[in-house]
Amino acid sequence: MKKIVIAIDGFSSCGKSTLAKQLAQKLGYLYIDSGAMYRAITLYFLRNHVDWSDTQSVIQALEQIALSFHRDPETGLNEVYLNGENVEYIIRDLVVAEKVSEVATIKEVREFAVKQQRHIGSNKGIVMDGRDIGTTVFPEAELKLFMTADSWVRAKRRFNEMVLKNPHVTLEEVKSNLDARDYMDTHRAISPLTKAADAVTIDNSQLTMEEQLDLALNYAVK
C-alpha cells in the first residue's frame, strides 16, 4: 500500500497525539509530535530567559536549538530531544503549557519548526499532529483529520493526566489554561488553528480510544 502523509489538527487535549501514535503504530508509519517541537523551543526560551518579544533575541536563540526525535526501544515511540537531551516529559509541565501558545505565535519560531517538519515528512509514511499541519505544514497531505471535543471533557482529561504529577493543580486551573490556549491558537495572526477545507472532523467527546482509532483507520485505508 502506498505510504501517505496523515495530518491531524485540533484543539488542545483532544487526544491528537494518542490517535497519531496509534495510527503510526498500526500503519508502520513514523509519528512526529509537532506540538512537542514548540514545547521544546518554549522550554529552551524559559531556561535561558529569552525575551521572545524581541525578534533578534528569538533569532539568536533559535540558532542555538537543535531538535530531533529518537525512538524509545522500550515503548517504540519517538521522543523529542532538545540539544541532545530527552525532554519528552519535562515539556509536559504546566509552566511550559502556559507559555507554549504564546511562543508558537512568533513568526520566526513557526518558520523554524515548519521547515524541520517538512523535511521530516518529505519521504511520506508519517503521522504528524498539531495546530496547522493540514493547513500550513502539509496542505497537500493525502489525509487530514480535525479533532475536537467538548471543552470540559478536554479539561477533565488533561486534569487526570496532570494531577498525577502535580497533586495541587485544580480542574478550574486546567480549564482556564485550555480556554486561554484555544483563544490564542484560533486568533493568532500566523497559521491560526482552523479546519482545512478537505479535513474530516472527529468529535471524540463520547468516543473511546478504540472507536476513534477504528474510525481514523477506515479513512486512512480508503
Please check whether residue 221 lies inside any domain of the structure.
Answer: no
Please check whether residue 140 lies inside any domain of the structure.
Answer: yes
H helices present in 48-85, as ranges: 55-62
Q: Is the dihedral of CA 125, 131, 133, 134 positive or negative?
A: positive
Give 105's contacts (C-beta < 8 A, 6+ positions apart). Answer: 184, 188, 189, 190
Length of the chain: 222
- Run of H or E residues at 16: helix 16-27
Please check whether residue 218 lies inside any domain of the structure.
Answer: no
* The total number of structural domains that make up the chain: 1
- Run of H or E residues at 174: helix 171-187
- Run of H or E residues at 155: helix 151-162
Amino acid 58: pLDDT: 98
| Among candidate residues 135, 150, 129, 137, the one with its CA nearest the CA of residue 197 | 135
Amino acid 140: pLDDT: 95
Q: Which domain holds residue 35?
A: 5-213
As a 3-state breakdown, the chain gives helix, strand, coil percent values, each rounded to 5, of 50, 15, 35
Please check whether residue 219 lies inside any domain of the structure.
Answer: no
Distance between CA atoms of residues 41 and 67, nearest Å: 9
The C-alpha cell of 30 is what?
513514523
CATH number for position 112? 3.40.50.300
Distance between CA atoms of residues 171 and 157, nearest Å: 10
Distance between CA atoms of residues 129 and 84, nearest Å: 23
Please check whether residue 55 lies inside any domain of the structure.
Answer: yes
Q: CA 86, 92, 95, 99: dihedral to nearest 10 degrees?
A: 90
Q: What is the pLDDT along the chain (222 residues), one digit of tens a residue?
A: 789 999 999 998 898 989 999 999 899 898 888 889 999 999 999 999 999 999 999 999 999 999 988 878 887 778 899 999 999 999 998 899 899 989 998 999 999 999 988 988 888 999 999 888 999 999 999 999 999 999 999 999 999 988 888 889 999 999 999 999 899 889 988 888 999 999 999 999 999 999 999 999 999 987
CB 91 within 8 A of CB 80: yes
